[in-house]
Amino acid sequence: MNIVIMGPPGVGKGTQAEAIMAERHVAYIATGTILRGAVQEGNELGLQVAALMAAGELVPDHLMMEIIKERLLRPDARDGWLLDGFPRTAPQADGLLALLDGIGQRIDRVLVLDAPDDEIVRRLGGRLTCRACGHVTNLQRVGGPPTACSTCGKDALYTRDDDSEETIRRRLEVFRERTWPAAERLGERSALVRIDGRGTPAEVKQRIAGVL
Ligand SMILES: [Zn+2]
């Protein structure tokens, strides 16, 4: 089964992607991971990506398409794949559909994971990062604000700028404006299923299992 998973930052997409992969044995195609891996390996693609990042530029769509195509054609993706992190815009969605047509593949399910902004803000805003060791404490899990890091014991916890409410709400707004049109495009050609991302990871996992 070929699956595309989409959802705003903080909705728990990564956790669910791991669960799907473990149960269905599909190849996991996460564009962020592929790019980071290429940069670390220092291969030809990595050098191109590193140069773009150093110049503060985004990886252009045509390059992303090439990367995805190459990945989709590898043997481990033959029995199914799970694409995470792409497409993010309507033109990317059109590009992906054309690419799939070209290699004779199709998307079986588009999983759209979402939760109300307030819940996502609560989840992401409830994170404290340790200045000393980098450990991230999830306030919802520990129940009440801790004063010291549970890993190194230092009193060095702070809220990262990325986790401030204003930043999170802006990121969500940008995401919904740009990425939901991409989901709709894919939904015109494949079964699109909306999944309620509220509740515990286990509850969300159950909902996803019910539609795959
Ligand atoms: Zn620490």
Label residue 142 by pLDDT band (50, 70, 90). low
- DSSP element (H, E) containing 127: strand 127-130
Question: Which of 48-52, 163-167, 203-207 has the lowest average pLDDT?
Answer: 163-167
Decide if 109 is catalytic.
no
Question: DSSP alpha helices (H): ranges in 104-210?
Answer: 117-125, 139-142, 165-187, 201-209
Decide if 127 is catalytic.
yes
Q: Cβ-count burial of 50 within 10 angstroms (0-12 exposed, 13-18 middle, 19+ buried)?
A: middle
Decide if 169 is catalytic.
no
**β-pairing, 109-114 with 2-6?**
parallel
What rounded mean pLDDT belongs to the chain?
Answer: 90
Among the CATH numbers 3.40.718.10, 3.40.50.300, 3.40.630.30, 2.40.37.10, which is that of 2-117+177-209? 3.40.50.300
Instruction: Specify the 3-state DSSP secondary structure of 59.
Output: coil
pLDDT at 125: 78
Ligand 1 centre from 137 Cα, in Å?
9
Ligand 1 centre from 189 Cα, in Å?
48
Q: Rounded to whole angstroms, how far apart are CA atoms 114 and 12?
A: 9
Ligand 1 centre from 157 Cα, in Å?
8
Q: Rounded to whole angstroms, how far apart are CA atoms 56 and 6?
A: 25
- DSSP element (H, E) containing 157: strand 157-158
Instruction: Specify the 3-state DSSP secondary structure of 3.
Output: strand
- The answer to whether the CB of 163 falls within 8 A of the CB of 154 is no
- The answer to whether the CB of 66 falls within 8 A of the CB of 95 is no
Label residue 89 by pLDDT band (50, 70, 90). very high
Residue 162 in this model has a pLDDT that exceeds 80: no
Residue 143 in this model has a pLDDT that exceeds 70: no
More confident residue, 104 or 160: 104
Q: Rounded to whole angstroms, how far apart are CA atoms 190 and 3?
A: 10
157-192 exposure pattern, b = at least 16 Cβ within 10 A, e = fewer: beeeeebeeeebeebbeebeeebeebbebbbeebeb
Decide if 160 is catalytic.
yes
Annotated catalytic residue: which of 36, 154, 160, 176?
160
Residue 144 in this model has a pLDDT that exceeds 70: no
Dump pLDDT digits (tens) for 76-86.
999 999 999 99
Label residue 127 by pLDDT band (50, 70, 90). confident
Average pLDDT (142-155) is: 81
- Nearest partner of 192 among 201, 203, 182, judged by Cα: 182
Report percent pLDDT > 70 for the chain: 97
Decide if 123 is catalytic.
no
Dump pLDDT digits (tens) for 22-67.
999 999 999 888 888 888 988 888 899 889 888 888 889 999 998 8
Ligand 1 centre from 138 Cα, in Å?
13
- DSSP element (H, E) containing 84: strand 81-84
Each domain of the chain, given as residue ranges in start order, spans: 2-117+177-209
Annotated catalytic residue: which of 24, 122, 127, 198?
127
Amino acid at 185: R
Q: Spell out which residues have Cβ within 5 A of ligand 1, the ion.
A: 130, 132-133, 135, 149, 151-152
